[in-house]
Chains A and B, each alone.
Chain A
């Protein structure tokens, strides 16, 4: 009897499960998407961006003047630009380190997310989009970014440093609940499934994605990206079948099946792939790429139907412009739903022409990229050396050395043997104390506060810092644990894959060549994702292939916002990634110049003129 009941129960459950899956398939086949309750309907299942076109803006924006709001993470201000005149018409202080300006679900407020980096006094500043003026700050934990749930019932505050999403009341910001994603270091950008059931976020520092059931408030799983990628923006495809994930390091866009949560492909686009913007008609996806490429210009397009790169580079500049400048799907996912909400509320629906409102919507797109673009353009030096003198016995090895390095900048420090290059590096690494003068890293004095400096540093010294009798994986795990990092098994695999050692991950290091040991050393550094990288002769002992590989990795780390100081006495390949050259001679910086277009011969002449004269 009990057995019969149990079988009946199983049969009912199986039927319901099949029916549930089938009904979704049938719905999609029938040309409609069954979105979650409370979410505005998906009008066109083949292009969920269909309601973001020029004539379909919410009436809520009718009285909103077109403005561009630019948060300035360093000055703690928001600048207001009038796009008609391209002038800054207003600026005001907000909270500490404003990162993004995000419109609320109902479009009545713009929220500035001030995450107060490294501190605990994060705030959200409301701005009235009609007056353009800020209101009083609201204290919340670590607000790096902000979204709204598809049904508009919660604001989602992305607490990046805490690896957490906080769900808050969209009006009062009172905490409703949280989802912790402990394996999602650098959780920052996300997008919802086409039906709004789940959310996929990028984990920038952990080379993976996290899938979240936001209604149940639980993590459904993690997906590690290949080759230790640095995921940035994520965006669902117009038909909702695929999520595009921009990868800064891989220089392209990953294709991820959101439902199965599987990596299904990759489209190479170019170095520094960062932002994703769909075209007006939902047929192309534009990627904003790194600073250097933007100058020349750095947009690549992906054909979303063929899921491949469609146009490339500078020669396409004219043709690219309409795609990149079209009324983009608004930056935050909430915008998509805002537009749909506008539909629901507006009986004129998509036929109401509101060109003025389109411009206003575009003003909502202003968004900084803290980790990369802003760091790349940072004015404040991360490394600051001021009048450092170091004396050993009676010999002054360094005498009044001063040098600054900014985030995203690489400086090659040249000098003859005994010039004091390694001594300077050791002072920055907190291994030696200067006799006089000071050196700071991210504002922390290396001599007085070494414990504050060390977590920010990655050091690749002469020695590889590896134990021959441990395997590559064991070495990484050891250094990660001793360094206080939460390194999971797949973090180690990703780091090893990033340096091309995944196949020998479980081989003892004793069997490795010098180049392989150097790569392992780089993997150790990459695992920690330091803000400052100190490299002592990084290319020494490497063959041509390994040199090329290392150059690429260092470029990627630079693009990711790290400051690099490379000590060398060669004029070879490492100079290619240096933005500046400094020559150390006679205990002083004899030359500090931008590398620009200087070739190896030019550098050698400069070096001879400065180093050998001073010697």
Chain B
């Protein structure tokens, strides 16, 4: 019970700080808008070309936003000298990881929902039947991104050039997730049912389980290192 309470406290704290300061949220929304403008101007109105690149464009937007959001995961602790406080908290540190993961997941999903809405408006897409399947894929893909991203953010929180190191570490590990999400999104946008992309969904599920379990097991070591 104490474990869950501690995890919830960390998630609540991150979300409360973000809700009041809106530092990350404002930056992410602005960044996403810029990204969509750039893509809109680049791709123009060619529907055929658009259909081919849309899944990649969507996930590029998600991944770049995630890199910005996840990179700041422990920044609030560094800015307020609270890092040592978390280190000295007695008990299983993986509760802190779970709390941070939940906070990141919530923030990323809010931004992604916004990006997806703007995506529909900018590119005049009818999600219609694809939406439920797309939500599943986005949820699983975001969990995979957030799981490893939260761990790597802790690893790089106290190193120099962490802004450089963080994406360099994160993106190679995310290859299975990116591959599965882009392929599944492509199929769903083409009107295929979720069952048709079952193998990609299974890959996403497996990747998520592995990422979360490994992160939970190693977070204590990462934090103490």
CB pair A463–B9 under 8 Å, yes or no, is no
Q: Are A482 and B10 in contact (CB under 8 A)?
A: yes
Cα of A303 to Cα of B21 in the assembled complex, Å:
56
Residues from chain B with Cβ under 8 Å of A477 in the complex: 9
**B13 at interface by CB-CB < 8 Å:** yes
- Asked if A474 contacts B16 (CB within 8 A), the reply is yes
Expressed in whole angstroms, the minimum distance between the Cβ of B171 and any Cβ of chain A is 30
Q: Are B82 and A463 in contact (CB under 8 A)?
A: yes
A451 in contact with B82 (CB, 8 Å)? no
Query: Are A454's CB and B88's CB within 8 A?
Result: yes
Task: For the complex, give the distance between the alpha carbons of A461 and B81 in Å.
Answer: 9
Report B5-64 residues with CB < 8 Å from chain A CB. 5-6, 9-10, 12-13, 16-17, 20-21
Give the complex CA separation of A457 and B12 in angstroms: 25
Q: Is the CB of B20 within 8 A of A508?
A: yes
Over the window 21-55 of chain A, the binary record of Cβ atoms lying under 8 Å from chain B Cβ atoms (1 yes, 0 no) is 00000000000000000000000000000000000
Closest residue of chain A to B22 (Cβ to Cβ) is: A469
Q: Count of A-B contacts with CB under 8 A?
A: 71
A478 and B13 form a contact (CB under 8 A)? yes
Verify A454–B90 contact, CB threshold 8 A.
Answer: yes
Determine whether A381 belongs to the interface, using a CB cutoff of 8 Å to chain B. no
B16 touches A484 (CB 8 A): no
Question: Do A465 and B81 have beta carbons less than 8 Å apart?
Answer: yes
A469 and B85 within 8 A (CB): no
Q: List chain A residues, Cβ under 8 A from B9.
A: 477-478, 481-482
Question: Is A468's CB under 8 angstroms from B80's CB?
Answer: yes
B115 within 8 Å of A (CB atoms): no
Are A451 and B90 in touch, CB under 8 angstroms?
A: yes
Cα distance, A466 to B20, chains bound together (Å): 15
The yes or no answer to B84 lying at the interface (CB within 8 A) is: yes
Q: Is A125's CB within 8 Å of the partner chain B?
A: no
The reply to whether B82 and A469 contact each other, CB–CB distance below 8 Å, is no
Contacting residues of chain B (68-122) with chain A, CB-CB under 8 angstroms:
76, 80-82, 84-91, 96
Interface check A462, CB cutoff 8 A: yes
A230 interface contact, C-beta 8 A? no
Question: Is the CB–CB distance between A467 and B81 below 8 Å?
Answer: no
Type the 1/0 row for A397-431, where 1 means its CB is closer than 8 Å to any CB of B: 00000000000000000000000000000000111
Which residues of B sit under 8 angstroms from A457, Cβ to Cβ? 88
Interface extent on A, as a size class? 20 to 34
Report whether B89 and A467 are in contact in the complex, using a CB–CB cutoff of 8 Å.
Answer: no
Closest to B79 in A: A468
CB <8 Å contact, A465 and B80:
yes
Docked-complex contact B6 and A481, CB < 8 angstroms = yes
Whether the Cβ atoms of A461 and B84 lie closer than 8 Å is: yes
B90:A469 contact, CB within 8 angstroms:
no
Which among A430, A431, A484 has the greatest number of chain B C-beta atoms within 10 A? A484
Q: Report chain A residues within 8 Å CB of B88.
A: 429-431, 454, 457, 459
A482 to B91, CA, bound (A): 9
Contact A469 B5 (CB under 8 A): no
Chain A residue at minimum C-beta to C-beta distance from B88: A454
**Are B16 and A470 in contact, with the CB atoms below 8 A?**
yes
A459-B90 contact in complex given A469-B20, A470-B17, A481-B6, C-beta closer than 8 Å: no
User: In the complex, which residue of chain B has the Cβ closest to the Cβ of A474?
Assistant: B16
A484, B6: Cβ atoms closer than 8 Å:
yes
The answer to whether the Cβ of A387 comes within 8 Å of any Cβ in the partner chain is no
Given contacts A482-B96, A484-B91, contact A467 B17 (CB under 8 A): yes
Partner of A454, one of B6, B10, B82, B89: B89
Q: Taking the complex as formed, is A541 at the interface, i.e. its CB lies under 8 A from any CB of chain B?
A: no
Is B5's CB under 8 angstroms from A465's CB?
A: no
**Across the interface, do B84 and A465 meet the contact criterion of CB distance under 8 Å?**
yes
Mask, B170-191, CB within 8 Å of A = 1, is 0000000000000000000000
CB-CB nearest in chain B for A455:
B90
Q: Which residues of B contact A577 (CB under 8 A)?
A: none
Contact B13 A470 (CB under 8 A): yes
A426: nearest chain-B partner, CB-CB: B84
Contact A463 B80 (CB under 8 A): yes
Task: Specify the chain A residue showing the minimal Cβ separation from B8.
Answer: A481
Mask of A491-517 contacts with B, CB within 8 angstroms, 1/0: 000000000000000001000000000
Asked whether, in the complex, the Cβ of A467 is within 8 Å of the Cβ of B84, the reply is no
Kindly list chain B residues whose C-beta atoms are within 8 Å of the C-beta of A182. Answer: none
Query: Are B17 and A464 in contact, with the CB atoms below 8 A?
Result: no
The answer to whether A479 has its CB under 8 Å from any CB of chain B is yes
**Cross-chain contact A431 with B17 (CB below 8 angstroms):** no
A136 at the interface (CB under 8 A from B): no
- Contacts A431-B88, A467-B76 hold; do A481 and B82 have CB atoms under 8 A apart? no
Q: Does A20 belong to the interface (CB within 8 Å)? A: no
Contact at B90–A467, with CB atoms within 8 Å? no
Complex CA–CA separation, A429 to B87 (angstroms): 10
For residue B96, which residue of chain A has the nearest CB?
A: A482
- How far is A430 from B89 in the complex, measured between Cα atoms in Å? 11
| In the assembled complex, A600 has its CB within 8 A of some CB on chain B | no
Could you mark each residue 471-488 of chain A with 1 if its beta carbon is under 8 Å from any beta carbon of chain B, else 0? 000100111011110000
Take A469-B21, A470-B13, A470-B17 as given contacts and tell me if A431 and B84 are in contact as well, using a CB distance cutoff of 8 Å.
Answer: yes
CB-defined contacts of B5 to chain A, threshold 8 Å: 481
Q: A residues within 8 A CB of B17? A: 467, 469-470
Report which of B2, B16, B76, B82 forms a contact with A465, defined as CB distance below 8 A: B82
Report the Cα distance A431→B84, complex, angstroms: 8
Contact: B2 with A484, CB < 8 Å?
yes
Q: Are B84 and A459 in contact (CB under 8 A)?
A: yes
A397 to chain B, nearest CB (A): 18
CB distance from A201 to the nearest CB of B (A): 26
Interface residues of A in 263-293 (CB under 8 A from B): none
Q: How far is the CA of A467 from the CA of B17 in the complex (A)?
A: 8
Q: A431-B88, A462-B81, A481-B5 are in contact. List 10 more A-B contacts (CB 8 A).
A: A464-B80, A466-B80, A467-B17, A467-B80, A467-B82, A470-B13, A478-B13, A482-B85, A483-B89, A483-B90
Could you write out 24 A-B pairs with CB less than 8 Å apart? Answer: A429-B84, A431-B84, A431-B88, A450-B224, A451-B90, A455-B90, A461-B81, A463-B81, A463-B84, A465-B82, A465-B84, A465-B85, A466-B80, A467-B82, A469-B17, A477-B9, A478-B12, A479-B85, A481-B5, A482-B89, A483-B90, A484-B2, A484-B6, A484-B91
Q: Which 4 A-B pairs have the closest CB atoms?
A: A463-B81, A481-B9, A465-B85, A469-B20
